Amino acid sequence: MLSIKNLSVKFNHFEVLDNLSFNVKDNEFIAVFGPNGCGKTTLLKSIAGIIEYNGTILINDKKPKDSKIGFVFQSYSDSLLPWKTVIDNVAFPLEINGVETNKKHKIVKDFLRGTILEEFLDYYPYQISGGMQQLTNIARAIIFDPEILLLDEPFSSLDEVSKTQVHAELRKFLKHKKVTTILVTHNYQEAETLAERIIKLSKRPTKITDIKESEK
């Protein structure tokens, strides 16, 4: 479970997040919706422990620095290793944790079975579409069984056809490996499509204006 209490973030005395508090249940999919520049990415970076913050953030009763966190950024092309194939990009977290080649490839193949990426395992990033590249990033962030998955507007640069396809594949990923997920977006339809609950944020200094169940 993710527990956030009285979270505030300031940059050079400029208040970005103002006393946010909310909980996310195990394996729940939450969308954080708000206008551009309201601090959605700052919220994710706080949860990931990347930036300093005031307040309390606990992931399964641990601080972020002691937790396994998957983070997918908006820019997909810069996040993949161009000299590695899809299967080896996805397997990279397993590789750096010492999993032998045959075993890590089996783990990836089992995870991607029945998904569109199954057809592209031996392709390099430059050989696949932007949507497939972002799916590769997402699969890599999930493959090592993180306690929480953070998605920073990962679909914003995709066209509508690609976005619909990637949404469907993400659901397959999360059906295979259950993980608490937080998506930030400024697209309310996307939030409704994917999430179980939606947290609405105000303009800066950012506060929570509403938390509601998705109508999907």
- pTM over 0.85? The answer is yes
Q: Is 174 helix (H, G, I), strand (E, B) or coil?
A: helix
Question: Which residues, in sequence order, are CB contacts of 14 under 8 Å at separation 6+?
Answer: none
Domain count, the chain: 1
* Residue 82 or 36, more confident: 82
Between CA 66 and CA 100 the distance in angstroms is 25
Question: Residue 136 belongs to a domain with what CATH number?
Answer: 3.40.50.300
Mean of per-residue pLDDT scores for the chain? 95
Q: What's the whole-number mean pLDDT along residues 132-158?
A: 96
Mean pLDDT to the nearest integer, 64-86:
93
216 pLDDT higher than 70: no
pLDDT tens string 151-202: 999 999 899 999 999 999 999 999 999 999 999 999 999 999 999 999 999 9
Give the domain range for residue 197: 2-213
| Angstrom distance (rounded) from CA 205 to CA 188 | 21
What is the mean predicted confidence (pLDDT) over 78-105? 96
Higher pLDDT, 19 or 74: 19
- What pLDDT does 172 receive? 96
Model confidence at 74, pLDDT cuts 50, 70, 90, reads confident
3-state helix, strand, coil in the chain (%, to 5): 35, 30, 35
